[in-house]
Amino acid sequence: MGMGPLPEEQSRDRPARLRDVAALAGVDPSLVSRVLSGATGFSIRPETRMRVHRAAEELDYRPNHAARSLRTARSMAVGMVVPNLANVVYARIHAGAAERAAQVGYSLLVATGPTAPLARTLYGRIDGLMVASATSDAGPAGDDDAPTLPTVLVNRQEDGDVPSITVDDEEGADLATRHLLDLGHVRVAHLAGPQNADTARRRLHGYLRAMERAGAEVTGALVAGESYEEQGGFDAARELVTRDPAPTAIFVANIQAAIGALAALRELGIGVPEDVSVVALHDAPLARFLDPPLTTVRMPLEEMGRRAVTMLLDYLAGGDAQRIRVQTAPQLIERRSTARPRAT
């Protein structure tokens, strides 16, 4: 190959290369590669392996990602797109995903914002992408002129054969609604999320299902809202309670909207839970410090995150596009925002 400086001497402070390790251990670079990358199904004398490891440690060897990626055509990293960082839901999904990714030796890179531009930034740095934006701002990576990247949808599901993983939002909504029904409420309202998010649609279905099973009538007056945010929840709650007949309980599609709803009811002088009970989907550390402490339904988000990674890796390995629904049961966390209706 005609190298210049002999590798015997380690030069300056430049990070050690495979070749340097090999030289120090007195073996060939390819051997070092096999040993250090934990390749299996080849034989080596234990003593040689030892020497290699020792040399690597000695030189504080760290494989060069770029070289490895170039050679193997894989980056050993996966990406995750979330709509924004300040959100417990995504934080929990991410936590699960990060845990699993670490377990299997992958790096997990996060990015925020609209999917398409991100796919462009991340392209070439990751092998696959998890899109955890609930609303289809830009479908799976590949829209407009963004490069196509193997993608799984997390917490969202779409027509066609796009792989996806979701939790059982319908069951969560059903559980929340049933809680209200069981307390004796009849006019149970739903403060819904944006209907372009399929989680919101599934929560609405869950609500309707529970109401129907209980034989409770659902009129248009009982459903309002189009938002997962505080302000939207505030506005919708205001509207809801002025309708006729007024609900005695509200199932809110997510916790942020519920915070807005609580504020609206407070401002109107409507007591929670004396006048109106409130329960929200998704739990957060914050919930118990609200006024009143908010009853919530906790979803298995970490598990979804973990399984999303597993699923993406399977998909990358040539598996086919699955649609997984995490079946772990949602969990009701009773706090002080729900109670029996005033005049049973």
Looking at 21, 24, 25, 98, which residue binds its own copies (CB under 8 A)?
A: 98
By CB under 8 A, which span of 20-28, 211-219, 224-232, 313-321 interacts with its own copies?
224-232
123 binding its own copies? (CB under 8 A): yes
Enter the DSSP assignment of 92: H
Distinct helix (H) and strand (E) counts, the chain: 11, 12
68: left (phi over 0), alpha (psi -120 to 50) or beta: alpha
Type of residue at 336: R
70 binds its own copies (CB under 8 A): yes
Q: Using omega within 30 degrees of 0 as the cis cutoff, is the peptide bond preceding 245 cis?
A: yes
Binding track, positions 103-122, relative to its own copies; x by CB under 8 A:
----xxxxxxx---x---xx
Q: How many C-beta atoms lie closer than 10 Å to residue 87's C-beta? A: 19
By C-beta, is 84 or 242 nearer to its own copies? 84
* Contact between residue 105 and residue 65 where contact means Cβ atoms under 8 Å apart: no
Angle, alpha carbons 115-120-124 (nearest 5°): 125
Q: How are beta strands 77-82 and 107-112 bridged, if at all?
A: parallel
Q: How far is the CB of 44 from DNA (least distance, A)?
A: 4
Min dist. Cβ of residue 91 to DNA (A) = 33
User: Interface residues for its own copies in 245-274 (CB under 8 A)?
Assistant: 259-260, 262-263, 266
Q: Which residue has the tokens 């099973």?
A: 213
Helix (H) or strand (E) holding 191, with range, is strand 188-191
Interacting residue ranges for DNA, rule: CB under 7 A: 1-4, 14, 17-19, 26-31, 33-34, 36-37, 39, 42-45, 48, 61, 63-64, 67-68, 70-73
Residue 82 or 134 with smaller CB distance to its own copies: 82
Q: Which residues bind its own copies (CB under 8 A)?
A: 62-67, 69-70, 75, 77, 82, 84-88, 90-91, 94-95, 98, 102, 107-113, 117, 121-125, 147, 229-231, 234, 259-260, 262-263, 266, 284-286, 288-291
